[in-house]
Amino acid sequence: MEALSNDLDWTGGMEIDGEHLTYLLFADDCAIFAHDALEPQEKLEQLQMKWSEIGLEMNLSKTKWMHNQFSPTATVEINGETIEEVKSFEYLGHQLSFLEGSTGEYSRRRKAAWSSFNRISTLLLDEDLPVKVKASLFHSTVIPAMLYGA
């Protein structure tokens, strides 16, 4: 998939540490960066055409788009189907949002940590269980949930 995507001669995107970035691609997850409201539609159409050459299909019901406060609201359509505009989305386990910044991500991680804690709370509060075992459980379940939202 990456080889096909590299064939796309895309402009736009964004500059990060001197590198030009137009998309992020990992397995079957892709995030596209654009300067204006027309660019995402054009890029999605090109990507869909490239992927269809090898029999891959874009799942339009899972495809979302968002914009920052500096770009106008628009409608993005692929094959006549409107792509849902969202205020935030999750990419590779991280919540991305222009409006909330990191607040939404921190909240998501906090919830994941509490959820992990609640799943093992009976063990953690068991007076008969050695502290070493409790610490090991905590460090192997709650801490990763808090740090990575897993």
Mean pLDDT over each residue of the chain, to the nearest integer: 79
What is the rounded average pLDDT of the residues 29-35? 76
Distance CA(142)–CA(140), nearest Å, equals 6
Local confidence band at 73 (pLDDT 50, 70, 90 cut-offs):
confident
* Domain range list for the chain: 2-96, 103-148
Higher per-residue confidence, 98 vs 19: 19
- Give yes or no for residue 101 having a pLDDT over 60: no
* Contact yes or no for 93/145 (Cβ under 8 A): no
> What is the model's pLDDT at position 126?
93
The half-sphere exposure of 45 on its side-chain side, counting CA atoms within 13 A, is: 12
Q: Which of 8, 37, 13, 11 is nearest to 23 (CA)?
A: 13
CB under 8 Å to 9, separation ≥6 — which residues? none
Q: Residue with structure tokens 């402009």?
A: 11
> What is the model's pLDDT at position 149?
62
Q: What is the pLDDT of residues 106-119, one digit of tens each?
A: 777 788 889 999 99
